[in-house]
Structure 1
Amino acid sequence: MLAGEHPSPLAGGQLNAQPGIVLCMTSPSRTADRAPNIVLITTDQHHWKAMGTRTPILQTPHLDRLAAEGVTVDRAYCPNPLCTPSRASILTGQYPSSHGAWTLGTKLDESATTVAGLLSAAGYRTSLIGKAHLQPLASVPGQTSIETPEHFRDWDLWRSFHGPFYGFDHIEITRNHADEQWVGAHYALWMQEQGLTDWPRYFRNTDGSGGRLHRWDLPAEYHYTRWTGDRTLAMIDDAVTTERPFFTWASFHDPHPPYLVPEPYASMYDPADCEPGELVPGELDQMHPWFAETQKDDPDFSRWFETPYATHGFNRQVIDKDTMRQHLAIYYGMISFIDDQVGRILDSLDQRGLTDNTLVVFTTDHGHFLGAHGLTAKGPFHYEDLIRIPFLARFPPQIPAGSATESITSLIDLAPTFLAAAGQPTPGAMQGVDQLRAWSGGAPARDHAVVENRFQPSRVHIRSYVDDRYKITIYRGDDHVEVFDLQQDPDELHNLAKDPAHADLIAHLSHRFLDAELQREASNQVRISHA
C-alpha cells in the first residue's frame, strides 16, 4: 500500500472486499512466479472504425502496432452505450440490469464483487488511472458519491486518498472532459505539482461558463491524457518494484466531446480531409418516432419523459457538414494524442521485459455518432456506430500476431477473461465468458451480444440482440421493432421489421432473443442437494 492510502471516506470500509465469494488463495510470491500482468487501456466514446487500421487518415501507429502484434476483435459490443453502466460491467462481468448501475446518475454499489478486488486478493497490484465515473455527480441519502463537485476540490481528501476503491489498491482519477468545470481530484494536484499553478484559468467557471471549442491553449504536457499516460507508467514501475503481478486500468477520458484538444493535435488533421457520415433521406421513417424528432427545428420529446433528468440524444441533432468536419478533425486529434500515450505504455512494457507476460487489451466503453443517420454523440439509438466498439488484444504466449476474429465479444467478458488468464476462478454471478481461447483463434465463446439501454425507467428502455448476421431491437411498452441484416445492409438503412415478408425471420430472432435472456441468468449459489 502506498503512503496515504486508506479506505474510502464515503464508503465506511474496504472497497475491495468481495462478499460472498470463496476463493482458493495464492500467496503473492507464488502468484508472481506464474501469473501474467494485465493492462486494460480504454478510451471514452470511441467509434469502432476510428483507428488507423480501419480509417487510413487516422494516425494511430501504436494502436496499429498493437493490432499487428495481437488480434483485432471485429465484432465487439458494449453492454450499454453509456459510461457508468458500461464501466461497471467491465469491472463486475455483469449486465447493468444485474449490477444495478443502470444509467448515468446511478452508482455501482461499493460492495460489488469486481475483477480488481478478486485479482488484488490473489496477490495482484491493482490500479485505476484516469476516468472512473462509477458514481454520480451528486449524493443523496443512502447513495453517497465521491465523484461530486464539492469533493473534487477537497485537496486534503485527494492528497491522502488513493484507495482502496472498488477493489483497486490505488486510484488516481478526475471527472472532466476537456475544459469542463468538473476538473479536480488527483489530476488537478498533479498539474499543481508540475508547476502549472494557474491551471484553473484553462477550465470553465464553476457555473459551466467560459467553454472553448476545438483548439485548447492548455499545453499538451499538462493535459489529462498525458497525466493518464504518466501515472500509468508510474503504476507499472510500482508493481515491478514490489515484484507483484499487476492489473492496471489506463482509463483515458477522450475522444468524448467537447471537441477540444491542444496543439499539435488540434492542427493534425485538415477538416477538408475528414468525411463525416450523413443522413440518407427517408431512412428514419422506418425507425422509432424519436429518431425523426432529432431532425426537427423544434423537437418535442416530452411524451417519453417521466423524470426531470435529461436523456442524451433527445435534442435537435442537425449539424452542417462543415461544422461536422471541424468536429471530426478534433475527434481524430484527440485519438492521436491518446495513441501517443499508448505507445509510451507499450514501450514501457518492452523496456522492462514484461511484454511476453502481459495481456494488453485496448477498447472503449461505447461508440459515438459522427453524422451517420443524422446523429451525433450518443443516445437511445442502437445503430452499430454506438454499440459496436474498437477492440484489440495482445498476449504473445497465446494470441497469434496480426490475427483477426469475428467471434462476438462483450465488455462483460473482460472480467472472466482476466480472471482466467490469472488462473483464478470466475464467480457464478458473473454473466460474461472467458474469451482468451476465441481471441487466440479457437472456437467462438459466444454467438450473440445483448445491449441494454434504460434512460427513463419505463418510457426510454430498449434492448438489442445481435448475432453473427442480424440485430433486433425492441422497445419496452411499444410494439415498434427494428431488425437489420448486418451482412446485406451494413449501413442499417432498411428496417426489415417493416416488411411483412420477414415475419418468419422476426419470429426466429425473437425466440433467439428470449433464449439469450434465459442464458444470461447467473447465480452466486451452486446446487449441492436435492432439497
Structure 2
Amino acid sequence: MKKKNVLLITSDQQHWNTLGFFNPEIKTPNLDRLIKEGTTFSRAYCPNPTCTPTRCSLITGLYPSQHGGWSLGTKMPEETLTIGDILMKKGYRTGLVGKAHFQHNLQNEKYSSLEAMPIIHDLDFWKTFQDVFYGFDHIELTRNHTVEFLVGQHYAIWMEEKGFNNWKDYYQPPIGTLDPSSKRIWEIPEEFHYNTWISERSNKLLEEYKNKNENFFLWSSFFDPHPPYFVPEPWASMYDPNDITLPHHLNDEHEKTSPLLKLTQEIDPDYSKYYEPKDKNWLHGCHSHIHNKEDLKKDIAIYYGMISMMDNYIGKILDKLDELKLTDNTIIVFTSDHGHFFGQHNLIAKGPFHYEDMIKVPLIVKEKGVVPESIVNESLQSLVDFTPTILSKLGFEIPRTMAGKDQSKVWNNEKKSVRNYIMVENQHTENTVNLRTLVNERYKLTVYYNKTHGELYDLKNDPLEFNNLWNNSEYAELKSKLLLDFMWAEMDKVPLWMPRVSLA
C-alpha cells in the first residue's frame, strides 16, 4: 500500500476565530470547505506565541526550551532532528515554499543565518542554492511580511523571472522605494503578490511529485495576515470598516493583571526595566497599545481582506491536489503559528500576553476516510504534537527525543484525548520577560519567572478572561493545585532520549 503524503498549510499570526465557517463577518470559502471535509480542533494551542519558537516546534516535536530557537532573534541549530530529516530517509521528497523563520534576520559573527541581511538580498546566491535546509530538500523562501524591506531570496528571483523588474517600488526602504507613510492598500499587482508565488510554486512541486510518483511532505507557508496590514484591491475594499464588530474589553481589566500588561494601557510606558543589560533588541508587544477605534476598524478590515485573499490561494493549492488526484492519499493540515490581538483586552498585534487570542490557533485536519468529516473536536491539541502525530500516521517510529504527544488516535476519533494539559512557553528575553502558561480542560494558569504575580482564569465561567483569580483568596486552594499541576506538566514534557536498558 502506498504511503500517505502530507500537505501542511500555515498562515502567520491568524486569530483562531477568523474562519468564515464559524465567524459570519469574514469569508474563507476554501478553508470552510476544508472544515466540512475534515475535523476542526477548537482547542489547539501554540507552544510559544511568536514565530521562530513555534515554527521550529512544528517540525521537531520539541518545545522552544528544547530545540534551541527559544525566542525571536535566535535560531534553531542546523543539526536539530526534524520531520523532514526523518521523511527524507524514508524516501519522501520534502519541500517548503514561503516563510521559514527558523533563523534570525541580522547577521552575527558567532551565529550565522541564511535568513539574515545581507544574504537574503543576494539573489545570485539563492539562484544556485541546493543545500538541504532543516530537512527540506527543496526550499523557496523570502523573509518579508507584505511591504517590509526583508523581501528577497526566491520570491524576488521569481518576480524578476516574471518580468516584474520594478518590484522594489512596492517595498519599503532601504531595499525599496515605497513611501513608508503609505497604509493598507498595497498597489502591487496581484499576479506578483507572494500569495500567488506560494500557490504557483507549491503547485509546481505537486506536479513534479505526481509525475515522478514520489511521496512528499510539502509545507506551503503563507505570510499573511501578519502585520503590516497591506493587501491589494479588491481585497482591500472587501470589508467595510463600518461593519466591523470591535471586540469587547473592560476599561479596568488590567488593574488585576501583570505589570507587563498594565503598562500597555499607558500613553508612553516605561519598559526599561525589562531590557536585559546585553540585549537591547526591541521587546515585541512592550509598548503602548492605546489606539483609535476608527483606525482599528480599518486595520481589521484589511486583516480580514488579507485572510480572504490568502484563502483564495489556499484554494488553488487544494484544487491542484484534486486535479492531480492526490487528495485521497494526502493528509492535509491547516494551522497558524500563533494568534493575534485586534482589540481584545484593548491589545494590538502580539506580545508576551497569554490570553486565548494569542495562544490559541486554528487547526483543521483532513484525511479522506480516516479523519471524521465536518466535526468540531474539543480535545487539547498542541502544535508540538504535529511531528510525532504525522510520523505515527505514516507508520514510522516516533523518536524518543521528541516531547510532543501522538494525537493520531484523537485525530481519527478513536480516542477522546491524549493530553490533560497544554504548556505554553514564552522566554522572550533570558530573564526579564519569561512566562509560562498551563491550560487544562477548564483553567489557565500563567507564571512569571522570579515574580509573585500571575494570572488564573476559569475558562468555563469566564471564557473572555476578564476576571483574574490569582489573588482571590477563595481560589487559593485551586491555585496551589494548579501550581502543582504546572510542575508535573514541566516534568512530563521532558523527553527521555533512550530507555533504561540495564541495572547500572
TM-score, normalised relative to structure 1: 0.92
> Which SS does the other structure have where 2:481 is aligned?
helix
- Is 1:243 aligned with 2:213? yes
- Is 1:120 aligned with 2:88? yes
Paired residue for 1:362, among 310, 334, 355?
A: 334
CA pair 326-448 structure 1, distance change in 2 beyond 3 A: same
Render the CA deviation track for 1:223-270: whole Å, top value 9, x for unaligned. Answer: 011111111111111111221111000000010000000111111111
The alpha carbon displacement at 1:525 in A equals 2.0
- Is 1:313 aligned with 2:281? no
Q: Which runs of 5 or more structure 2 residues have no equivalent in the other structure?
A: none
* Distance across 2 between alignment mates of 1:315 and 1:503: 32
Contact 1:162–1:172 under 8 Å retained in 2: no
Show the counterpart of 2:106.
Answer: 138
Contact 2:107–2:118 under 8 Å retained in 1: no
Q: Matched residue pairs, number?
A: 499
> Which SS does the other structure have where 2:305 is aligned?
helix
Render the CA deviation track for 1:479-529: whole Å, top value 9, x for unaligned. Answer: 012100111001100011121000111011111111111111102222211
* Distance across 2 between alignment mates of 1:36 and 1:167: 18
Counterpart AA for 1:152: I
Contact 1:239–1:245 under 8 Å retained in 2: yes
Contact 2:122–2:153 under 8 Å retained in 1: yes
The alpha carbon displacement at 1:115 in A equals 0.4
Give the aligned CA root-mean-square deviation in angstroms.
Answer: 1.1
Counterpart AA for 1:491: L
Show the counterpart of 2:179.
Answer: 210
Show the counterpart of 2:445.
Answer: 472
> Which SS does the other structure have where 1:34 is aligned?
coil
Paired residue for 1:323, among 283, 295, 315?
A: 295
Spell out the pairing of 1:460-499 with structure 2 (5 A cutoff).
460-499=433-472
Paired residue for 1:81, among 49, 60, 83?
A: 49
Paired residue for 1:256, among 203, 219, 226?
A: 226
Show the counterpart of 1:161.
Answer: 129
Contact 2:107–2:117 under 8 Å retained in 1: no
Spell out the pairing of 1:506-517 with structure 2 (5 A cutoff).
506-517=479-490
* Distance across 1 between alignment mates of 2:88 and 2:220: 17
TM-score, normalised relative to structure 2: 0.97
Render the CA deviation track for 1:297-351: whole Å, top value 9, x for unaligned. Answer: 1211112111201111111111111001000000000001111111111111111
Show the counterpart of 2:473.
Answer: 500
The percentage of counterpart residues that share the same residue type is 43
* Distance across 1 between alignment mates of 2:344 and 2:373: 33
The alpha carbon displacement at 1:279 in A equals 3.3
Counterpart AA for 2:166: D
Show the counterpart of 1:224.
Answer: 194
Show the counterpart of 1:6.
Answer: none
Render the CA deviation track for 1:59-83: whole Å, top value 9, x for unaligned. Answer: 1001000000000100000000010
> Which SS does the other structure have where 1:361 is aligned?
strand
Render the CA deviation track for 1:15-35: whole Å, top value 9, x for unaligned. Answer: xxxxxxxxxxxxxxxxxx421
* Distance across 1 between alignment mates of 2:372 and 2:141: 34
* Distance across 2 between alignment mates of 1:88 and 1:231: 22
* Distance across 1 between alignment mates of 2:382 and 2:194: 28
The alpha carbon displacement at 1:428 in A equals 0.7
* Distance across 2 between alignment mates of 1:466 and 1:365: 18
Show the counterpart of 2:4.
Answer: 36
- Is 1:51 aligned with 2:19? yes
The alpha carbon displacement at 1:459 in A equals 1.0
* Distance across 1 between alignment mates of 2:439 and 2:69: 22
> Which SS does the other structure have where 1:491 is aligned?
coil
Contact 2:422–2:438 under 8 Å retained in 1: yes
Render the CA deviation track for 1:100-140: whole Å, top value 9, x for unaligned. Answer: 11101100110000001111111111000000111111222
The alpha carbon displacement at 1:162 in A equals 4.1
Spell out the pairing of 1:265-414 with structure 2 (5 A cutoff).
265-306=235-276, 307-414=279-386
Contact 2:338–2:360 under 8 Å retained in 1: yes
Paired residue for 2:28, among 42, 49, 60?
A: 60
- Is 1:527 aligned with 2:495? no
* Distance across 2 between alignment mates of 1:342 and 1:69: 15
Contact 1:357–1:397 under 8 Å retained in 2: no
Paired residue for 1:518, among 491, 497, 502?
A: 491
Contact 1:43–1:363 under 8 Å retained in 2: yes
Contact 2:332–2:365 under 8 Å retained in 1: yes
Counterpart AA for 1:161: F
